[in-house]
C-alpha cells in the first residue's frame, strides 16, 4: 500500500495562442475541466499502475468534490482518509495552456487549506500498513509536517515532493527518504539556480546534505531526471516525444517512481520507468486523464524511445 497525502483540484483549462500580458484580455478556446490536484494525481498514477493506494485529503461538499472523489474511487483508491467540508469550495485550478504546450496555473486551494494535523493523525493505522507515504506542499504546512513526522515514525518510505514551492525547515528534510523537486523547486529550496544537469547535481547535493539522509531526484522536464543516492549519482534521460500538455507529468513521474521503488526496483530502474510514464502523460491532455497504465508504460519502454520525461506540471 502507498498512501498519498495531498490536494484535490478541479482543473479548468483554456487554450490560448499566447499568454496575455498584465491587464490584457485575449480570446481562448476549448474550455474543459478535469480532476487534478497534485496529491490526487499522484494517487491516480499509482492506481493506474495497479498498485494499492490510499488518499488522504479534503474536498468541499460540492459537485467538483464528488466528481474528483469518484474519479479515484473508480480505480479502487482507498478514500477513508478523505474529509468533506460543508463550508468551503473544493480546490480549483485555472490552467492556461499556450500553443507550445506551456502552462500557467493559478490554484484556489479551497478545502485543501483546511486539512489539519488531526486529520492526518486520525489515519495513523493507515500509515502503519503503508510501505511508502508521499506528500506535497499543496495542502497546509501542518498537514505536511504531521505527514512527514508520522511517516518517519511508522518506518514507511517517506517521500516529499516540495510542490508548489514553500520554504521547508531542514528538520522536515531530515524525516525524508526521498526529496523529489522539479528544477524550479530545487532552485528555491537549495538557493542554487538549476539550469541543467550540473546545477541539478549541486542542488541535489545541497538537499542531501541538509537532510542528512534523503536520496534526491531532481526532475528536469524533457531532459529526464538527476538522481543523487549513495549507490548512484547521475543523469537518467527522458523519452523523446511531442508534448501537447505537461500538466500532471511531474505527478505521473512521482507516482510511478515510488510505485517501482516499493516493488523493489533500484532507483535508476524506477527512474527510467517513471520517465517513460511521464513521457506518455505529456502526449495527452489533462492531468489524471493523461496518466498511463502499466501496460502502456511497458510498451513505451520496450519500444526503446530515448529522451523526455521527468515532467514539470
CB of 100 to ligand RIB, least distance (A): 18
| Catalytic residue selected from 119, 177, 223, 251 | 251
Q: Which is nearer to ligand RIB, 152 or 181 (CB)?
A: 181
Helix (H) or strand (E) run with residue 276 in it: helix 267-282
Q: Which is nearer to ligand RIB, 127 or 292 (CB)?
A: 292
Residue 213 to residue 170: CA distance in whole angstroms: 11
> Strand, coil or helix: what is 14?
strand
- Burial per residue of 206-234, b for 16 or more beta-carbon CB atoms within 10 angstroms, e otherwise: bbbebbeebbbbbbbbbbbbbbbbeeeee
Q: Which is nearer to ligand RIB, 54 or 254 (CB)?
A: 254
> Strand, coil or helix: what is 10?
strand
Q: Is the distance from CB of 239 to CB of 303 less than 8 angstroms?
A: no
User: Quick check: 311 binds ligand RIB (CB under 6 A)?
Assistant: no
Residue 96 to residue 110: CA distance in whole angstroms: 19
Burial tier of 56 (Cβ tally within 10 Å: 0-12, 13-18, 19+): buried
Compose the 119-138 pattern: x for residues touching ligand RIB by CB under 6 A, - for all others. -------------------x
Q: Is 251 a catalytic site residue?
A: yes
Residue 308 to residue 276: CA distance in whole angstroms: 8
* Size of site (CB under 6 A) for ligand RIB: 17
User: Quick check: 309 binds ligand RIB (CB under 6 A)?
Assistant: no
Q: Which stretch binds ligand RIB (CB under 6 A): 35-43, 77-85, 126-134, 259-267?
A: 35-43
| Grid coordinates given for 173 | 528534510
Q: Which residue is nearest to ligand RIB (CB)?
A: 36
Q: Which is nearer to ligand RIB, 250 or 255 (CB)?
A: 250
* Cβ neighbours of 171 (radius 10 Å): 12
With CA atoms as reference, report the closest residue to 35 among 12, 6, 58. Answer: 12
Residue 243 to residue 282: CA distance in whole angstroms: 5
User: Quick check: 285 binds ligand RIB (CB under 6 A)?
Assistant: no
- Of 37, 162, 238, 310, the one binding ligand RIB (CB under 6 A) is 37
> Strand, coil or helix: what is 101?
coil
Residue 170 to residue 189: CA distance in whole angstroms: 10
Compose the 179-198 pattern: x for residues touching ligand RIB by CB under 6 A, - for all others. --------------------
Residue entry with cell 543523469:
235
| Grid coordinates given for 219 | 526532475
Q: Which is nearer to ligand RIB, 11 or 152 (CB)?
A: 11
Q: Which is nearer to ligand RIB, 126 or 162 (CB)?
A: 162
- Of 78, 145, 185, 251, the one binding ligand RIB (CB under 6 A) is 251
With CA atoms as reference, report the closest residue to 136 among 123, 127, 145. Answer: 145
Q: Which of residues 90-119 bind ligand RIB (CB under 6 A)?
A: 93, 105, 107
CB of 167 to ligand RIB, least distance (A): 19
CB of 262 to ligand RIB, least distance (A): 21
Q: Which stretch binds ligand RIB (CB under 6 A): 24-32, 59-67, 236-244, 248-256?
A: 248-256
> Strand, coil or helix: what is 4?
strand
Catalytically active residues, by annotation: 251
Residues that bind ligand RIB (CB under 6 A): 7, 9, 11, 36-38, 41, 93, 105, 107, 138, 247-248, 250-251, 287, 313
Amino acid at each position: 500500500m502507498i498512501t498519498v497525502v495531498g490536494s484535490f483540484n478541479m482543473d479548468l483549462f483554456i487554450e490560448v495562442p499566447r499568454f496575455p500580458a498584465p491587464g490584457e484580455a485575449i480570446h481562448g478556446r476549448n474550455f474543459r475541466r478535469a480532476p487534478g490536484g497534485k496529491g490526487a494525481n499522484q494517487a491516480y498514477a499509482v492506481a493506474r499502475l495497479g498498485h494499492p493506494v490510499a488518499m488522504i485529503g479534503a474536498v468541499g461538499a460540492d459537485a467538483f468534490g464528488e466528481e474528483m472523489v469518484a474519479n479515484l474511487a473508480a480505480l479502487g483508491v482507498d478514500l477513508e482518509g478523505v474529509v468533506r467540508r460543508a463550508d468551503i469550495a473544493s480546490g480549483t485550478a485555472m490552467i492556461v495552456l499556450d500553443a507550445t504546450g506551456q502552462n500557467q496555473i493559478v490554484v484556489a486551494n479551497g478545502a485543501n487549506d483546511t486539512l489539519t494535523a488531526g486529520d492526518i493523525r486520525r489515519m495513523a493505522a493507515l500509515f502503519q500498513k503503508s510501505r511508502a507515504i508521499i506528500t506535497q506542499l499543496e495542502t497546509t504546512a501542518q498537514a505536511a509536517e504531521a505527514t512527514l513526522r508520522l511517516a518517519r515514525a511508522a518506518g514507511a518510505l517517506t517521500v516529499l515532493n516540495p510542490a508548489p514551492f514553500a520554504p521547508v525547515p531542514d528538520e522536515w528534510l531530515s524525516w525524508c527518504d526521498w526529496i523529489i523537486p522539479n528544477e524550479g523547486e530545487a532552485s528555491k529550496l537549495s538557493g542554487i539556480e538549476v539550469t541543467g544537469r550540473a546545477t541539478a547535481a549541486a542542488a541535489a547535493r545541497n538537499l542531501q546534505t541538509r537532510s542528512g539522509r534523503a536520496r534526491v531526484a531532481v526532475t528536469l522536464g524533457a531532459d529526464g531526471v538527476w538522481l543523487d543516492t549513495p549507490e548512484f549519482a547521475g543523469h537518467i534521460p527522458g523519452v523523446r516525444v511531442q508534448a501537447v500538455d505537461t500538466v500532471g507529468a511531474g505527478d505521473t513521474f512521482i507516482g510511478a517512481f515510488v510505485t517501482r521503488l516499493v516493488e523493489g526496483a533500484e532507483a535508476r530502474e524506477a527512474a527510467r520507468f517513471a520517465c517513460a510514464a511521464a513521457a506518455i502523460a505529456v502526449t495527452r491532455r489533462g492531468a489524471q486523464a493523461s496518466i498511463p497504465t502499466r501496460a502502456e508504460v511497458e510498451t513505451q519502454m520496450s519500444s526503446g524511445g530515448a529522451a523526455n520525461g521527468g515532467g514539470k506540471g
